[in-house]
Chain A
Amino acid sequence: MGSAMGKSWLESNTFHHSEFKDIDFLIEKKREKNLKISLCLPTLNEEKTIAKEIIIMKSELMSQYPLLDEIIVIDSGSQDKTLEIAEYYGADVYASNDILPNIEAFKGKGENLWKALYIAKGDIIVYLDADIKNIHHRFSYALIGPLLHYDHVKYAKAFYDRPISEGDKGIRPTGGGRVTELVIRPLFSLFFPELTQIMQPLSGEYAGFREIFENLSFPIGYGIETSMILDIYHTWGLNVIAQVDLDRRIHRNQSTKSLGKMSFAIMQTFLSRISEYGHINAKERLFNEMIQYNQVQSEYQQEIFKFEQPERPPIVEIPEYLAKFKNSGL
């Protein structure tokens, strides 16, 4: 890999959050460019973390510094008090199923992110997972920073030290996410070595211009982060992407089995995408079932998870969206 294959991207498009801590400057840039910025939190049963996330963002980036214009929560059908709490603390709350009711509804993070584009007013959309335990307003302003500072940057992605919270045992530092290191990085190395410079392609925190997101297809499930990186790279090139070191993100640990399912969905998306790009011809040979095994006493029992992973087309192709954002001049 060397300098010939884009080391300069790593140098020029990698930032640390501290480079954007002058929020007054960001506000000035936002005003100059006449932009609106929306923060979107996709949720499913996040009552333990959602209030803190909304309060801190609202206090620091709306009340103290008017950087964000709105905070919207798009929910996949929480059974806990997520919606009640989010509304109480002042977020604009939407049930995913109620958005664009004339089209078939799906359930998944990607679905929420896609529908957020219809709801959000912003020219820039910031997407943050709603389960961040150590939330800080840098998670938003540092992702917005490169978009306002550099005209060529259209999409900014977070990376971290990712300690995993282990309850009372404290924090265990890890190198990178297991799925990143065991699945995505090897795949990128095989097909798109340039993309290995993206430290954490699966991080759930990113920001970008509407003009980028509205032209992307959104897998409704786990594959969304993978497809987003691949499609942006494929369509606009690596230079529109920036990555920002947000230092530390504490998240819930997941079992190897759960990560296995996540890996399946990611590989499914990846292989499907590279087939579309014409790199390989594998799409028709792919199965859509993840098979895992449980040992019950002396027997092994098969557990099959079916991943249909429908995709939303670029939202710019949806007539309701066009009517709202293109015809109205928004």
Chain B
Amino acid sequence: MEDYLEKLPEIVECIKDIKDTIITNIVLIGEKPAPTFREKERAKAFMERLSEFNVDECTTDSYQNPVGIIRGTSSEKSPIFVVAHLDTFEAKENYFDYAVRKDSIIGPGIDENSAGVGVLISLPLILKKLNIQLKSDIILAGVIQSVGKGNLRGIRQLLKTWPTPIRAGVVIEAVELGRLNHTSGGMIRAEIDCSTASVKSNRSQRERINAILVLNEIINNILELRLPQKPRSEIVVGRISGGIDHGKDALSANIGLEIRSESDAIVKEVNNEIRDIVEGIRNEFDVELSLKTISNLNASRLKYNHPLVKSASSIMKKLGVEPVSEASESELSIFLSHKIPAVTLGITKKDTDNPDDAIRIEPMFKGIAQIVGVLQAIDSGVCDG
């Protein structure tokens, strides 16, 4: 293990030498829009780029996740998965215009997760350039239908249908460099829809109902819920929309929220409490109100002293990156729920000076070196115990 740790600074420099191609990959993949459920164009570009880099196999699985395989030297070793979600929160389907500056790349969705995908498809070239051949096959997967309502369908299907045991998984996220996620909290992602359209005509002017205010009442009730500090739990109301004009009562409104906890039982309990709140408000205001679960995850974890976590931490420290461990609700949960050791790693830092989606280029080289180091650690057997 020490051998590749020592080589990490050299690896960073070597990766810098091919920055043109890494940036090109990020741009070419990022400029293909991939809203969840409509990732076809980006998946095609993913496959084309992998083919150009002469990966040993390039295909899609039965769920249309694009997958490339770099063959290892030993047929006895199970494959290592490296995944990045292909879809973006950005709903636009037109061409995205990316811009490259001296120290940053700017474009819609670059930090979520186009840079991660761009680095993923650069791995065949990076490993070739570094003259690294692992014993395990490396499976490079750009998983579709991950974010939001996608509910991690792509990775769920990929792992469910993969025919062989899997040695370990590495999940790539564009940001932030330093993240070392190895636990996944329980989570329910839900939407509350309120519509007053069907009841409005029966009411007098004084009694009229505003859908935004109804949801506000629900939010107030949610904020009064008591959540335990341990297991750590939280409710995040992350999205709200409704109404059409400043001077008109909103006929419909919607909020999106996540219930997160280290305990599945608490997630379930809080979800039930929110359901009761919604039911109560619905009866009180006599409006159409619904709570829909759009995504859920069970809590799972890789212990902090697992050799994979310890190795990843050492690699990051060697690169001068301070590891930060927080629970992550992502592809990681699906690996862990299959009892596959896995971590999520960030590639670079957001360019916070830029008002648009932007990442910084320079930290990316350490971020990529860290991926290479972790792959080598896995290949050396840290997950085989």
Contacts and interface: CB of A to CB of B under 8 A. Distances in A.
Interface of A: 47-49, 51-52, 55-56, 58-60, 63-64, 81, 84-85, 88-90, 133-134, 136, 165, 170-171, 248, 250
| Contact-residue size bin, chain B (C-beta under 8 Å from the other chain) | 10 to 19
A48 B31 CA distance: 16
Contact of B99 (A49, A56, A63): A49
Contacts of A88: 102
B244 interface: no
B28 A51 contact: no
B162 interface: no
Contacts of B99: 48-49, 51-52
B20 A134 contact: no
B14 to A, nearest CB: 14
A55 B52 CA distance: 17
B101 A51 contact: yes
Given A56-B28, A134-B95, A171-B95, A51 B21 contact: no
A250 B97 contact: yes
B353 to A, nearest CB: 15
B86 to A, nearest CB: 20
Given A64-B52, A85-B102, A170-B92, A55 B97 contact: no
B92 A55 contact: no
B95 A250 contact: yes
B21 A64 contact: yes
A109 B97 CA distance: 25
B95 A63 contact: no
B52 to A, nearest CB: 7
21 contacts: A47-B101, A48-B99, A51-B99, A51-B100, A55-B20, A55-B27, A55-B100, A56-B27, A59-B21, A59-B23, A60-B21, A60-B24, A81-B102, A84-B102, A85-B101, A85-B102, A88-B102, A89-B20, A134-B95, A136-B28, A171-B94
Interface in B95-110: 95, 97-102
Given A55-B20, A55-B24, 12 more contacts: A48-B99, A49-B99, A51-B100, A52-B27, A52-B98, A52-B99, A55-B100, A59-B20, A84-B102, A85-B102, A89-B100, A250-B95
Interface in B21-42: 21, 23-24, 27-28, 31
A171 B93 CA distance: 11
Given A85-B101, A134-B97, A58 B27 contact: no
Contacts of B31: 134
A10 to B, nearest CB: 29
A171 B28 CA distance: 18
Contacts of A89: 20, 100
Nearest to A58: B20
B16 to A, nearest CB: 12
A165 B95 CA distance: 10
The 9 lowest CB-CB distance pairs between A and B, nearest first, are A59-B20, A51-B100, A59-B24, A59-B21, A170-B94, A52-B100, A58-B20, A133-B97, A55-B20
A248 B23 CA distance: 22
B18 interface: yes
A56 B102 CA distance: 14
Contacts of B23: 55, 59
Contacts of A58: 20
Nearest to B125: A64
A136 B95 CA distance: 13
Contacts of B52: 64
B109 to A, nearest CB: 15
Nearest to B52: A64
Nearest to B23: A55
Nearest to A134: B95
Contacts of A63: 18, 20-21
A248 B95 CA distance: 11
A53 B217 CA distance: 52
Q: Which of A51, A52, A248 has the most CB of B within 10 A?
A: A52
Given A51-B100, A85-B101, A90 B20 contact: yes
